[in-house]
Amino acid sequence: MARPKIGISLRVVTAQNYVEKRDALSQDWPIFLEKLNVNPIFIPNSMSNVKSYLYDMHIDGIILSGGDNLGDHPERDKTEKELLDYAVENKIPVLGVCRGMQIINDYFGGRIEQSNNSQHVGQNHPVEITNESFLDSFNSQSVLVNSFHYNLIRKNTLGKNLEPFAVVKSDDTVEGFTHNSLPIFGVMWHPERDKNKTSELLFRKVFQSIISKKN
């Protein structure tokens, strides 16, 4: 059977010696996705018609990757919002990672806070799984995840129809959410960096509908 095609957004980097912007992605992502028997389809930030590109490439799902802050590169913000438009219109699954979770929250009218809390930067910490369907997936109420972000989302800054499934008890921040009627999910940790059983379970939870169709 054909592998599912997952479109993945790209961060923007500036090549200092060439005075040009480039789209980039950590090599962790292709390694992680190949392990899960998925074909990654890279989505440039310079496309004039993102929806047409997704349609032509027969995209089954979307990953909004990390890196960059919202507003740093307007072309990336525009591209990812068009990806979300396409996902909502076609009801295809989306996983937002770190910045990707933040832009989903922004898309649905939520807000982002900045914090100097070192608990969320460059270290692992536990998250509490608060949604019963995710308890079944992770088989544990507490999961250890990595953390590389200063930007935070709280329950009172969540966008419309977004519901938390993973929180940090010590400061009540939201580390994972899901849309209540669409297959759209966000996590603040980076599953591609750990490549462990928790990462695999999360991925299969988000993209279970397309994985089962292709197998």
pTM: 0.93
Q: Which domain holds residue 102?
A: 5-214
Active site residue 192: yes
pLDDT in tens, 59-105: 999 999 998 899 999 999 999 999 999 999 999 999 999 999 999 99
Confidence category of residue 207, pLDDT binned at 50, 70, 90: very high
d(CA 27, CA 138): 25
CATH code assigned at 182? 3.40.50.880
d(CA 4, CA 208): 11
Q: Strand 142-148 relative to strand 121-129: parallel, antiparallel, unpaired?
A: antiparallel
Active site residue 190: yes
Q: Per the structure, how many domains does the chain have?
A: 1
Which one is catalytic: 73, 120, 179, 192?
192
Q: What is the 3-state secondary structure (H, E, C) of 166-204?
A: EEECCCCEEEEEEECCCCEEEECCCHHHHCCHHHHHHHH
Which residues contact residue 118 at a Cβ distance below 8 angstroms, ignoring those fewer than 6 apart?
none
pLDDT in tens, 113-159: 887 665 556 677 888 999 888 887 777 788 888 777 678 899 999 99
The first and second tokens of residue 150, run together, are: 């200063």
Which one is catalytic: 73, 149, 179, 190?
190
Which one is catalytic: 73, 80, 98, 149?
98
How many CB atoms sit inside 10 A of residue 115's CB?
A: 14
